[in-house]
Structure 1
Amino acid sequence: MNSGQASSVSLTRRLILSAAVLMSFFLGLTGLALDRAFVNSQLAGQSERLFIRVFNLLSVAELDDITLSLPRFLREDRFNSRESGLIGIVLDADRQSAWESQSSEWFTELEWLRAKPNLDAGGEEFGAYGAYVYQRNGFVWEDASGQDRYFEFWVLEDAEPFNRSIQTFRRQLWGGLGAVSLALLLVMFLVTVWGLKPLRQLTLHLNQIRTGHADQLLGRYPTELTPLTDSLNQLLKAEQNQRERYRKAMADLAHSLKTPLSVMRTLSVAEQTTLNEQVDRMDQIVRYQLQRAVTDARSGPVLGQRCDLHAVLVRLGTALEKAFRSEDKVLDLPENGTTLFVAMDSNDVLEVLGNLIENGFKYGRSVISVSYQQRTDEPNMLLVHIDDDGPGLSDLAREQVLTRGKRFDTIQPGHGIGLAMVNDILASYRVELKIANGPLGGARFSLTLPIAH
């Protein structure tokens, strides 16, 4: 396993981990904000309740000369019960106790209250100390002599219920957020699995292509993946075309070498010149087929291409008559009048005419004829006919004979490649090969070639 594979993390895990981190962060902030808001609201509510109790004490307080008096028993029973957790205390300006509720009997923090400084007149303070929350307010009365008297009212309440409510809220808050987080993670997991399903489908289809069960990506993919799948299909198609082109090139090469080899088999030791010509022809064929193999697509004639048609026909006739000398067949060529050039690569012309004439030698009984003439409707085009006196081709055979690998006889040697190769080359020049019955009784192959000027 390489380092890239060792450190790879699945997209599902990556998305879930990212979602968990982001969810923890935002839900954590939300929980803290809700917790702070609840605590503040509870503190405000507690302060308001204690403030109301302070004013309840103030409402029953009376100043007799210089002494402040409150009833020993109050309407709110909790002030009268020792274990109620609600305590009322009044301190004077000297921080001495002016009045204490019945519930303060077990209160042990009186010294702490006395140690705090006096408030301003009308001042108030809310806070917590020990096991209590408290509210204190400072008030000033004018006594009989017109002097101001300061008194400080304290109401303290056991903080246990307050703390318990906050703890209960926090348990419910964080428990609820935890449950929501798990539910959201589960939903996120399901959504991720569903969202990444096309990628798993893509992987499955790629494995099918790798194992040879498919040749392209099939099925419908999301819009975001369509450019990728289209590009992959184009790449696969290009690779298949390249492989097919190499296969065809090797088959074409083998087919093209057959004629020179056949000629060489018929040569005697004394015919060294002809032997050298065929060796040169084989070398030329190899280079030509290799060049075709590395070309993606042919785009037709290239400016400046010229091929002497008659010279090619003479060269082919000489080679084929030697290859088929034992069969007593004659190649009838036009007389060499005016030199005529066609706007095609000479190697292409050799391949096309060589295969067509060789087929005439294979299937013709005694005569193979090549004729050509300028078309009257298109003066720049040359109509070429290759005829033989063989059995000809049926209508079905004419439709299928140009298919690569398709043969209609088992008498003559071959692989059904030659005519398909001819058709491929002519198609690159946008030239159509037509097959019909010829004047000699056999097949007629007709093609229109561009004339070079």
Structure 2
Amino acid sequence: MGRNWSLARRLFVGAAVWSLIMLIVTGSILTVLNQSQTVRLLQAELDATLTTLTRAADVSESGEVTLFRNFAPTDERFTRPLSGRYWLVARLNENGQVASYQNSNSVWDWSVPWSNLQLTEASENPGQIYYGDTLGPDRERLHYAAKSVLLGQDIPVLLIAAADRSPTDRITQQFLITLTLAMIVLAVGLIIAMLIQVRIGLKPLGRIEKHLSEIRAGSREKLSEDYPQEIAPLAVELNKLIEHNRKVVERARTHVGNLAHALKTPIAVLMNEARGDDPLAVLVRRQTENMSSNVNHYLKRAQAAARAQTLGARTPIAGPIDDLTRLLQRLFTEKGLSVAPGRVDELSFRGERQDLEEMLGNLLENACKWAKTKVRVSAMRDDEDGLLLIHVDDDGPGLTEDERKQAVERGVRLDETAPGTGLGLSIVKDLAEMYSGRFELSESPWGGLRATLKLPAA
């Protein structure tokens, strides 16, 4: 079997092949037994005819074989020419050859093939019955029984009873046809039963797959425990693995937080000591600020990476969008900006809320810096790949294609006069990629900049 075959296919093909082999073997055995049984029944009739001929046969004083008609076989088929039932009584000479014989009327003008009737074997073993096949008077296939007995003065007499095998062969053939049809029906029934059995038997694995998808999508915390006893240990181990994953992520968050606190104090001391205006102080202050921004960036990235590995995280997008747009609307009221949600479908992000807020906050803040009159956020599902699609549009000056490529690079600031560290869009790009998503910049329908997030949907 192919290594990549499914379990259902392996089970079905294995069971089907074995069942077909057993059906063929069983059919062959039944056919042989039926044929053997019908032949034995025919031989039993021939033996009865030989017994009757033994009582009726005799040898005259002249050495001719005679038959007491009162004791002869009475089956009327022996009186009809070429009826398919025959008997012969023959006297054998010293050489074992037929000297004289008598026969039933049904033999008619048949030239008896004595050489095919095992004369030698029968004459050498009186009382022993020999069976064989030959061609009859009507060229039909005969099955015969031959036996020699000693009569009179120990004169060997050969007794032969024969019958047409055609009825017996027809019965065997009809049985074979009936058996074949029955086996075909049984095979079809077994195949259907195996399909149903495999489907039902593997159904719990389908439930596990569905539940794991729900855990990954955030709609379920762990696997249920109502599985068959063969699969229940697998579910228990998977639940332990999920719980272990959560603990590892939690420990990573704790370590990242501890590192952040450990670095804040030395950086703050350096910045406090570099207050002067001399070149060394300016240099130290600038490098310390760069170090602080880089530390914050990589700490956030480490935290996001840990959260992105958490199974079952799920965040509805409507809440964070409403909260951020209301906050920025208040902050940029004096600028005359309109910051509001556009089309926002009822969708959920498969990830942590704070990461979604981090990405949206950076994009909205950047849009508000450059927008002239309005900023809008829209969210819908991408029908092509099923991802969550979030657009942040503004009516600002926008960016050229080369500027869009530079804007997502870490630490790059296209306008040195604007406040910021140049890390906002690169953080958004890193976060999106950690969740196997994408971040793109393009031209807004209003002529400004459109920032697009493609994230996994829950």
- Shorter chain as denominator, the TM-score bin is 0.5 to 0.7
Residue 37 of structure 1 corresponds to 33
Distance 1:176 1:208 in 2: 47
Secondary structure, counterpart of 1:8 in structure 2:
coil
Query: What is the deviation of 1:231?
Result: 1.8
How do 1:255-274 residues align onto structure 2 when only pairs under 5 Å count? Answer: 255-267=261-273, 268-269=275-276
The 3 A distance-change label for structure 1 pair 139 and 87 is same
State the distance in 2 between where 1:159 and 1:231 align: 70
2:176 counterpart of 1:170: yes
- State the secondary structure of the residue aligned to 1:168: helix
List gaps (5 residues or longer) in structure 2.
136-140, 304-458
Which amino acid is the alignment partner of residue 98 of structure 2? R
- Listed as ranges, the matches of 1:253-332 within 5 Å are 253-267=259-273, 268-269=275-276
Larger Rg computed on CA atoms: 1
Per the alignment, residue 208 of structure 1 pairs with: 214
2:222/2:242 contact within 8 Å kept:
yes
Partner AA of 1:125 in structure 2: Y
2:74 maps to 1:79: no
Residue 26 in 1 paired to residue 22 in 2? yes
Conserved? CA contact 2:12–2:194, under 8 Å: yes
For 2:207 and 2:118, how far apart are their aligned partners in 1? 78
| Separation (CA, whole Å) in 2 of partners of 1:189 and 1:53 | 56
Partners of 2:68 and 2:246 lie apart in 1 by 105
Q: What's the counterpart of residue 67 of structure 1?
A: 64
- State the distance in 2 between where 1:16 and 1:92 align: 67
Q: Return the alpha-carbon distance in structure 2 between the equivalents of residues 24 and 138 of structure 1.
A: 48
* Distance change >3 Å, CA 97–CA 10, structure 1 → 2: farther
Question: Given residue 34 of structure 1, which amino acid in structure 2 is its aligned partner?
Answer: L
TM-aligned CA deviation for residue 32 of structure 1: 2.9
* Contact 1:61/1:69 (8 A) holds in 2: yes
Paired position in structure 2 for 1:101:
104
Give the C-alpha shift of residue 89 in structure 1. 1.0
- Find the counterpart in structure 2 of residue 50 from structure 1: 46
In the TM superposition, residue 262 of structure 1 has moved relative to its aligned partner by: 4.5
Aligned to 1:196: 202
Alpha-carbon distance between aligned partners in 2 of 1:227 and 1:64, rounded to the nearest angstrom: 93
Alignment-derived partner of residue 246 in structure 1:
252
One-letter code aligned to 1:178 = I
Instruction: Give the distance between the partners of 1:148 and 1:23, measured in 2 at CA.
Output: 60
User: What secondary structure is seen at the aligned counterpart in 2 of 1:132?
Assistant: strand
Q: Distance in 2 between matches of 1:36 and 1:168?
A: 13
Q: Distance in 1 between matches of 2:180 and 2:174?
A: 10
Q: d(CA) in 1 for partners of 2:112 and 2:254?
A: 105
Q: Partner of 2:167: helix, strand, or coil?
A: helix
TM-score (norm 2): 0.53
Q: What is the SS of the residue equivalent to 1:214?
A: coil
For residues 209 and 117 of structure 2, what CA distance do their matches in structure 1 show?
A: 80
Cα shift readout 1:115-153 (whole Å, capped 9, x = no counterpart): 7424222222122224010011111111xxxx3221111
SS at match of 1:134: strand
Amino acid at match of 1:198: P
Alpha-carbon distance in 2 for matches of 1:158, 1:37: 20
Does structure 1 residue 129 correspond to structure 2 residue 134? yes
Structure 1 residues 158 and 228, CA, compared in 2 at 3 Å: closer, same or farther?
same
Counting aligned pairs with the same residue, the percent is 26
Query: What is the alpha-carbon distance in structure 1 between the residues aligned to residue 229 and residue 116 of structure 2?
Result: 74
Instruction: State the shift of 1:71 in Å.
Output: 5.9
The TM-score, its normalising length taken from structure 1, stands at: 0.53
Give per-residue Cα distances to partners, 1:124-183, cap 9 Å, x unaligned: 2122224010011111111xxxx3221111111000011111112222233323322332
In 1, Cα distance between equivalents of 2:8 and 2:157: 70
Distance of aligned partners of 1:165 and 1:22 in 2 relative to their CA distance in 1, 3 Å threshold: same
Alpha-carbon shift at residue 107 of structure 1 (Å): 3.2
CA offset digits 1:69-124 (Å, max 9, x no partner): 22678521010011320011111113144101110015344344467424222222
Match of 2:229 in 1: 223
| Aligned amino acid, residue 74 of structure 2 | R
- Note the alpha carbon deviations across 1:174-218, whole angstroms, 9 max, x for none: 332332233223222212211111111112222233444434323
Whether the aligned pair in 2 keeps the contact of 1:96 and 1:114 (CA below 8 Å) is: no
- Secondary structure at the residue paired with 1:123? coil
Structure 1, unaligned runs of 5 or more: 294-453
* Whole-angstrom distance in 1 between the partners of 2:47 and 2:208: 70
Asked if structure 1 preserves the Cα contact closer than 8 Å seen for 2:57 and 2:89, the reply is no
